[in-house]
Structure 1
Amino acid sequence: MKKLFGFIVFAFLISGAACSVADRLDPSAPAPSGSASLDPLGYGEGTMVKLYYSKCYATYTFGTGKFIGYIEVENAAYRKEVVVHYTLGSEWKDIAASYLKSIPGNKEIWYFALDGIGFNPFAGWDVRFAVRYTVNGQTYWDNNNGQDYMTGTGPRNFSAEFAWGKSIVAMQYASYGQNDTEKFFNCRIFTKYAEGDKSVKIVYTEDNWATVKEAQAQYVYDDSDFTGGNKASVWWAYAPLAGTPENVSFAISYTLNGAAAWDNNFGRNYTVSPGTIWE
């Protein structure tokens, strides 16, 4: 779908699918020099299996949506199965998650996605789910302490767009575009709602980390808390670009009461090119 901003058409959509993540980003991409270590996003103690976060959003096909998420598991054996057990309101079904990458601490990140969810665009939709991990003949669950996770989207949905697990910060949207006067990079960020002294910034590069820049994000609003655990704060960052860089790579830093959490796409950073949107 094309979006028109001023005189520029954003002509390409990058979805969050695992193949797109793997194909678009270089796993060996360097972290910003001179910055804090870009640890995997968020806080929280994992066990054998733990949701990082999931999100739902409407796609550009009218009346359809997408449900995606990331899961951390203990790498207890080579053969394993990671499944998301979910319902859209009646029948329970399974989504098989796919291996994404290994991370320190003998952990792995797995990714899942459900495309083409039909819904009433004037009413929204919701999904209830839990994560099941089977390894070495044993089955482990992350079911949000027995409550299940809830997320959804739409104007009258009863769940927040993000379901938080181990993570407390996540990129929702980013684009590289142009208006009448300048080229720019912008980003929309969600953080798990918390009281205290907090700030969000984008650490980015226009030249493959030869130089590093920062853009402070502005607080926008607190998202509605329909389920008691999904409430989020929404932030927006904007940065003009010098010249016409081939792409912009970036990571997100969220500081809460002096402690920093990062969303850096699990150590690989995010990358957007001219005219592209990442959701």
Structure 2
Amino acid sequence: MNRAVSPALAFAAAVAGIAVFSGMDAIMKGLVLGIGAYTALFWRNVVGVVLSGVPYFARPRPPLSRAGIRLHLARGVITTVMSWLFFWGLARVPMAQAIALSHIAPLLSLFLAAWLLGETIGRRTILASLIAFAGVLVILAGQANAEMGPDAFRGAVAVLASALCYAVNIILMRRQSQLTGPGEIAFFQSLIVAAVYAIGAPWLADWPEGRWVEIVGAACLAVVSLALLGWAYAHAPASVLAPSEYTAFIWASILGFIVFGESLSVWTLAGAVLIIGGCLWAVTGRRAVPMAEAALP
């Protein structure tokens, strides 16, 4: 499963996965504005189960392990909460701003790794976190100056809460990609997220009349993105691939302008520079972990 692959190829696959995911974000923002976050996410994942299940069951596959099942369940539940918070917030703030705020997740994952895995947090990481936090404050200050209203502030808070969930996801993603293949990851994540949303669907989800093309399109992009990222993290350490996350800001800025006519404010740009700069400084200061060491215990 972990055949030798060029780090550059794995990084390119990760960047492609982020670009595809950004396209899905743009479609989902339109859906959330039209039919609501719960309805859009429930039906997207239902379609995703079918789209990811066909290739998963069409070929021979290794038996499921207990460790793999536990990781699928944990990541699926966390993804359910993370996705609702993110897309609820995304409908209330510009795409570039939401993505900039979500970029604090890789830095949060370093602190979670220290807490959960006993890794040491150096002074560089602490200083980098202060820089990134300053970027968050700059973006929120920009919201206040633009008088976007309390709904936009609640949206920003939801995106930050989603980033915390995504930081946990980053910790799980590395271990998951070492135990299972990209196809299995894509199928079980869609299945578990759809199952969790199905619990409240009779009361909270509506029939998405006339929106099936967008739902199927978003589901296709989500499955492709999950497969690309799963493949990339299976062939390169997270420390190598982490910077690929920051290309999402570029895609979000372009798509937000083209699809929704959103402008990129100086506040958002300045905050993004601080967040991305702080996170990159923290990540590049860490020793690259060989593949054999990178898997979590």
Bigger relative contact order, structure 1 or 2 (CA pairs below 8 A, ≥6 apart): 2
TM-score by length of 2: 0.26
TM-score by length of 1: 0.27
Whichever structure has more helix as a proportion of its residues is 2
